[in-house]
Amino acid sequence: MKKSILLPLFALVVSYISAQTEATTIDGKKVILYENGTWKPAEATPVVTNENTISDCSKYISKEVDKVTGESSTSSKDMILISSDGEKSGFGIYIFSTAKNEIIFSIQAVGAGNCIDDDNKMNVLFRDGTRLELINDGKFNCDAKYTQYFGGIFGKRKELEMFRTKEVETIRIWTSKGYVEEDFTPDQSKLFIKTIDCLIHN
């Protein structure tokens, strides 16, 4: 009698296990039915996460909170070093995101003079053959520092999307005495993409 009262409450029967039945309620919950008319919730199937999901972003970015102001900042976990001669020349790249979802590239370009003007350029060659040219968003300095801002009031969303989706093959940054140019390995290209993607989505 109890069984006949319970059956209309349940939809599709999935499987039978000895003296119990697994069923799905009309609101989508899995339950186990017993012959004596009792029931219990079925155990949930564990969710398997993919390495490419946002959950693995802790490998690429870090969040810090200023204990005095309470403001948080998010940046690449480590400086991304691109150098073919043991770091005597090349790039040290930090990537930051702001509270307004702006992304900042702060690049140390070492090996062709330390002075970078506010109109010096960065040329980018992507592995698919596309190219990009950007003008320094930072001010003149002799600290070998080149800066790019993306998103928010700075625009350049299309350019940021290129960095997020395309592998960089080569970057060249012009200085007062020439330029610094480095090729990215496939692993460095993937690290660059993943860091940007994680900063955009966290």
Model confidence pLDDT, tens digit, residues 14-30: 343 446 677 777 666 77
To 10 degrees, what angle do helices 157-165 and 186-201 make? 130
> Residues 150, 162: contact at Cβ < 8 Å?
no
Tokens of 131: 């190219």
> Residues 77, 202: contact at Cβ < 8 Å?
no
Tokens of 180: 């610094």
- DSSP assignment of the chain equals -HHHHHGGGEEEEEEEETTEEEEEETTS-EEEEETTS-EEEPPPPPPPPPTTSGGGGGGTEEEEE-TTT--EEEEESS-EEE-SSTTSSEEEEEEEE-TTS-EEEEEEEESS-S-B-TT-EEEEEETTS-EEEEE--S--BSS-EEEEEESGGG--HHHHHHHHHS-EEEEEEEETTEEEEEEPPHHHHHHHHHHHHHHHH-
User: Is-above-0.75 flag for pTM?
Assistant: no
| pLDDT per position as a tens digit, 84-128 | 988 789 999 999 998 888 999 999 999 999 999 999 999 999 999
Instruction: Indicate if the pLDDT at residue 41 is higher than 90.
Output: no
CA distances from 72 to 63, 67, 69 (A): 7, 9, 9
Architecture of domain 58-201: Sandwich (2.60)
Q: pLDDT higher for 117 or 54?
A: 117
Question: How many CB atoms neighbour CB 150 within 10 A?
Answer: 25
Tokens of 112: 């062709």
Between CA 188 and CA 11 the distance in angstroms is 52
pLDDT-based confidence at residue 55 (cuts at 50, 70, 90): low
Q: How many Cα atoms within 13 Å fall on the side-chain side of residue 14?
A: 11
Question: How many CB atoms neighbour CB 167 within 10 A?
Answer: 15
Helix (H) or strand (E) holding 30: strand 30-34
Average pLDDT over every residue of 140-144: 97
Task: Please provide the average confidence, as pLDDT, over all residues in the chain.
Answer: 84
Residues of the chain with CATH 2.60.40.1880: 58-201
| pLDDT per position as a tens digit, 175-186 | 999 999 999 999
